[in-house]
């Protein structure tokens, strides 16, 4: 059957579509902008067409031709049938021995919601056998996964394999790297047309309007019709009118590869107006062309994905008279891609010594909607439990690693201890408590603080005093576990500072293997100390090159760039209480392991609010934060969730 002939099941539908198609195809003749093409809208498939799409994809996923079958799996997931994909592919991955095919299985399992399969691709990328390196980088790019970014940054840095370098840059650019996108753009100048084609393909997905001129300049240089088509299709994805017109024409190409790619890119371009042509393509005589048409039709039948640069910000736990303080949160990504956000819910009072427990909510759409709260940890303290930290206890990318929930149990002014409970079922249940701090006294560990070193060692940084009423001076050190949290011991040395001392420590591993601890002080700055033995002993603290009040700071490494990201209150007023108000809430990045800070940007600036006790994690291309938001008038404190594109942190400096 030729691609222009209709199967009997489509004839009636095609007749019904004549009037609509005439209008829509008229638009295809000369689109002038994205709005006129209907980009971003949603089509409404009939039941017959939807059923036909599903039949094409269900037949496709079971076919012997491996890569089209994998494309069919992608189409089912994009159409909302990820559970079906997981059920079919999961049993196949363990028996596959070829790294390239393993990447295909793993990426579609990740796309379908099984984040655990990302460890397969990350392992192949970091492995010694080069057979699957490019496929691993490409597959990770397609699903927006880079683990801790180390292997991907190394792949971009190497020059022996240009294709691997380009695909690694694509993955890092998708996850927000300000250094990777220039590598992709530079690849357009390659003497190798295949490299230029891949670069054009990537820019259609991770580039912006400034890339339209770059891509247009490639058209006279391309020698192969497929390269020309890829450039036009990427232009279409970026909203270029000529690219959109050419994409529509390419759906009628005599080259099945070009028809297939046009159908694929019609989804990226959100080109809803070519739906009639895609319906015709369900009868294409090329297997992959049929699959891609079905995929895009189902994708366009669903709401458009949120804009990649959109920020998400909600008060997820709002203070009430009964619960006037909801603070000290932590977020962890679960293996199904959802986020679990836990906080301390205080009862009847906002005091540090009021009754409190740990509660959590879950989001499956990046923070836009949330489940009802559930209790993760009831109050078992004489006063309260508070300051939760949620952490995977295994290496980055190991989604099968258990989740640790750390929290404080407060029994008195001279009794505050860190406890750990471990979940092996994705935070549905938690095991019996393990006491982290074994010595008497008052041990403060802030929310979202525990760090796992590359050696596997866990560091729980605490600020200690014997009795917070009698000795209001703190020293900071780490409790250490070398057996995944089963047992703990105190470090050999502490860090101190003048006045109230070294408070609310945070630790991070540096590129040279040292550990850096930062602490809250009363000196107008954040102090930093370094350890060369994994957090046991520390050198003399020095000021970090930023001003700060007496307030905690959060420090993490950005996977996509390798930079350090600092979140803190960028202000100081000598003599004021706590050194000044905890506003603004500011971010800055360091590319020299904390010596200097740039890209200083304010996250929050209202002066009738204060912001503090942040948490920070990275999920794909986004930084996921939480922090408390205190109203000056009422004194109530709510917990805000905020998701920010990584690339936002590299925008214009605020000049502060």
The per-residue pLDDT for range 43-70, each reduced to its tens digit, is 999 999 999 999 999 999 999 999 999 9
Distance from C-alpha of 642 to C-alpha of 313, rounded to nearest angstrom: 4
Q: Which two tokens stand for residue 558?
A: 């950005």
Query: To the nearest 10°, the Cα dihedral for 459, 464, 466, 469?
Result: -140
Look at residue 120 and tell me if it is in a domain: no
Which comes out higher in pLDDT, residue 312 or 116?
A: 312
Domain assignment of residue 170, yes or no:
no
Strands 564-569 and 554-557: antiparallel
Confidence of residue 308 (pLDDT cuts 50, 70, 90): confident
pLDDT in the model for residue 397: 76
Q: State the pLDDT confidence band at 322, using cuts at 50, 70 and 90.
A: very high
The mean pLDDT of 22-26, rounded to a whole number, is 35
- pLDDT surpasses 80 at 23: no
The per-residue pLDDT for 196 is 97
Asked whether residue 294 falls in the same domain as residue 317, the answer is no
DSSP 372: P
- Residue 3, pLDDT score: 41
Asked if the structure places residue 143 within a domain, the reply is: no
CA gap 96, 495 in Å, rounded:
51
State the Rg of the chain over Cα.
27
Q: In this predicted structure, what is the pLDDT of residue 396?
A: 81
C-alpha span between 64 and 162 (Å, rounded): 31
Cβ-proximal residues to 616 (8 Å cutoff; 6+ apart), any chain: 448, 554, 556, 565, 567, 623, 624, 625
Domain identity same for 356 and 270: no
pLDDT of amino acid 652: 57
Query: Does residue 293 sit in the same domain as residue 370?
Result: no
Question: What range defines the domain where residue 275 resides?
Answer: 1-80+251-305
| Mean pLDDT value of segment 383-411 | 94
Residue 370: inside a domain = yes
pLDDT, position 14: 38
Please check whether residue 42 is in contact with residue 304, taking contact to mean a CB–CB distance below 8 angstroms: yes
Q: Collapsing DSSP states into helix, strand and coil, what is residue 615?
A: strand
* Residues 607, 644 within the same domain: yes
Q: Is 128 part of any domain?
A: no
656 part of a folded domain: no
Tell whether 106 is covered by a domain. no
**Domain limit, last residue, from 265, 280, 305:** 305
> Looking at the structure, do residues 294 and 325 belong to the same domain, yes or no?
no
- Dihedral sign for Cα 9, 12, 18, 19, please: negative
Judge contact between 198 and 164, C-beta under 8 A.
no
- At residue 502, φ and ψ (nearest 5 deg) are -100, 115
Q: Are the CB atoms for 479 and 418 separated by under 8 Å?
A: yes
Q: Is the pLDDT of residue 26 over 70?
A: no
The domain that holds 467 is classified in CATH as 2.120.10.10
Per-residue pLDDT at 7 exceeds 60: no
C-alpha 52/C-alpha 57 separation (Å) is 9
Neighbours of 130 (CB within 10 A): 12
The residue from 272, 288, 305 where one domain ends is 305
> Pick from 642, 621, 653: which is nearest to 170 by CA?
621
Q: 461: Cβ–Cβ under 8 A, 6 or more apart, which residues?
A: 445, 449, 450, 451, 476, 477, 478, 505, 506, 507, 517
What integer is the mean pLDDT of 447-457? 97
Q: How far is CA 414 from CA 19, 224, 435, in A?
A: 79, 75, 16
Q: Provide the number of structural domains found in the chain.
A: 2
| 298 & 402 share domain | no
* Ramachandran sector of residue 427 (left: φ over 0; alpha: ψ -120 to 50; beta: rest): left
| Bridge partners (DSSP) listed for residue 409 | 385, 417
- Reported as a pLDDT band with limits 50, 70 and 90, residue 25 is very low
**Residue 308 token pair:** 């990649």
Return the sign of the alpha-carbon dihedral for residues 342, 346, 571, 468: negative
Residues 561 and 495 reside in one and the same domain: yes
pTM of the model: 0.92
Is the Cβ–Cβ distance between 195 and 187 less than 8 Å? yes
Q: Which is nearest to 388 in space by CA: 365, 413, 366, 421? A: 421
Tell me, what's the pLDDT at 395?
86
- Mean pLDDT confidence for 546-554: 97
Q: Does the pLDDT value for residue 333 go beyond 50?
A: yes
Q: Which residue reads 């891509």 in tokens?
A: 215
Q: Do 599 and 512 share a structural domain?
A: yes
Average pLDDT over the chain, rounded to whole? 93
Q: Are residue 390 and residue 268 in the same domain, yes or no?
A: no
Tell me the C-alpha distance between 501 and 497, whole Å: 4
Element at 411 (helix H, strand E): strand 403-412
At what angle are helices 193-206 and 256-268 packed, to 10 degrees?
30
Residues forming beta bridges with residue 643, ordered by sequence position: 312, 624
**How would you list the strands of the sheet with 564-569, edge to edge?**
554-557, 564-569, 585-590, 598-604
Residue finishing a domain among 280, 305, 330: 305
For 309, 323, 549, 612, the CA distances from 580, given in Å and listed in that order, are 33, 26, 6, 13
Question: Which class for 412: exposed (0-12), middle (13-18), buried (19 or more C-beta within 10 A)?
Answer: middle
pLDDT tens readout for residues 196-233: 999 999 999 999 999 999 999 999 999 999 999 999 99
Nearest to 43 by CA among 20, 14, 13, 22: 20
Helical (H) or strand (E) element with 604: strand 598-604
Q: Do 344 and 449 share a domain, yes or no?
A: yes
Distance (Å, rounded) from C-alpha 321 to C-alpha 15?
Answer: 63
Rounded distance between C-alpha atoms, residue 166 and residue 178, angstroms: 15
Which two structure tokens, joined as six digits, stand for 7?
């199967």
Are residues 409 and 282 part of one domain? no
Q: What pLDDT band is residue 398 in, cutting at 50, 70 and 90?
A: confident
Tokens of residue 553, six digits: 């700071």
Beta bridge mates, 630: 610, 637
Is 121 part of any domain? no
Q: Are residues 457 and 600 in the same domain?
A: yes
């Amino acid at each position: 059957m030729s691609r222009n002939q209709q199967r009997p099941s489509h004839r009636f539908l095609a007749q019904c579509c004549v009037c609509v198609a005439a209008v829509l195809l008229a638009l295809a003749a000369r689109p002038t902008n994205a709005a006129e093409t209907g980009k971003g809208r949603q089509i409404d498939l009939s039941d017959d067409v939807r059923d036909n799409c599903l039949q094409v994809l269900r037949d496709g996923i079971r076919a012997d031709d491996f890569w089209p079958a994998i494309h069919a799996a992608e189409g089912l997931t994009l159409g909302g049938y990820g559970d079906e994909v997981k059920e079919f592919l999961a049993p196949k991955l363990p028996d596959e021995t070829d790294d390239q095919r393993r990447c295909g299985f793993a990426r579609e399992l990740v796309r379908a919601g099984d984040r655990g399969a990302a460890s397969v691709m990350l392992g192949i990328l970091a492995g010694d056998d080069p057979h699957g390196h490019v496929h691993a980088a490409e597959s990770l790019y397609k699903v927006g996964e880079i683990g801790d970014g180390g292997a991907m940054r190394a792949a971009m840095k190497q020059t022996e394999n240009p294709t691997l370098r380009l695909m690694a840059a694509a993955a890092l650019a998708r996850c927000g790297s300000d250094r990777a996108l220039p590598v992709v753009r530079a690849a357009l100048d390659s003497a190798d047309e295949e490299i230029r084609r891949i670069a054009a393909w990537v820019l259609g997905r991770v580039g912006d309007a400034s890339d339209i001129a770059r891509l247009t300049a490639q058209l006279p240089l391309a020698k192969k019709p497929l390269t020309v088509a890829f450039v036009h299709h990427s232009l279409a994805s970026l909203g270029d009118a000529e690219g959109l017109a050419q994409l529509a024409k390419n759906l009628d190409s005599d080259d099945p590869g070009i028809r297939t790619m046009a159908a694929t890119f019609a989804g990226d371009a959100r080109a809803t107006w070519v739906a009639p042509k895609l319906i015709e393509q369900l009868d294409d005589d090329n297997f992959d062309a049929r699959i891609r048409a079905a995929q895009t039709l189902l994708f366009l039948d669903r709401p458009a994905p949120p804009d990649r640069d959109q920020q998400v910000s909600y008060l997820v736990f709002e203070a009430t008279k009964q619960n006037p303080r909801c603070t000290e949160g932590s977020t962890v990504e679960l293996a199904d891609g959802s986020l679990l956000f836990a906080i301390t819910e205080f009862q009847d009072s906002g005091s540090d010594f009021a009754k409190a427990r740990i509660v959590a909510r879950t989001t499956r759409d990046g923070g836009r909607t949330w489940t009802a709260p559930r209790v993760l940890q009831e109050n078992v303290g004489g006063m309260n439990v508070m300051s939760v930290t949620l952490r995977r206890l295994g290496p980055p990318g190991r989604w099968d690693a258990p989740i640790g929930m750390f929290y404080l149990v407060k029994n008195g002014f001279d009794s505050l201890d860190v406890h750990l409970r471990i979940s092996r079922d994705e935070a549905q249940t938690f095991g019996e408590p393990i006491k982290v701090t074994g010595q008497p006294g008052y041990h403060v560990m802030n929310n979202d603080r525990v760090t796992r070193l590359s050696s596997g060692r866990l560091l729980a940084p605490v600020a200690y005093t014997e009795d917070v009423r009698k000795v209001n001076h703190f020293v900071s050190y780490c409790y250490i576990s070398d057996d995944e949290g089963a047992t703990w011991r105190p470090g050999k040395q502490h860090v101190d500072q003048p006045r109230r001392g070294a408070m609310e420590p945070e630790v991070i591993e540096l590129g040279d293997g040292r550990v850096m601890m930062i602490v809250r002080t009363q000196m107008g700055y954040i102090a930093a100390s370094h350890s060369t033995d994994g957090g046991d002993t520390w050198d003399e603290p020095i000021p970090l090159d930023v001003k700060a009040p007496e307030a905690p700071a959060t420090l993490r490494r950005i996977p996509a760039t390798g930079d350090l990201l600092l979140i803190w209150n960028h202000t100081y007023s000598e003599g004021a209480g706590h050194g000044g108000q905890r506003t603004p809430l500011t971010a800055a990045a360091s590319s020299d392991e904390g010596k200097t800070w740039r890209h200083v940007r304010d996250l929050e600036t209202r002066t009738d609010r204060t912001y503090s006790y942040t948490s920070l994690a990275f999920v794909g291309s986004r930084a996921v934060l939480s922090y408390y938001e205190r109203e000056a008038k009422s004194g109530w404190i709510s917990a805000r969730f905020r998701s920010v594109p990584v690339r936002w942190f590299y925008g214009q400096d605020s000049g502060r």
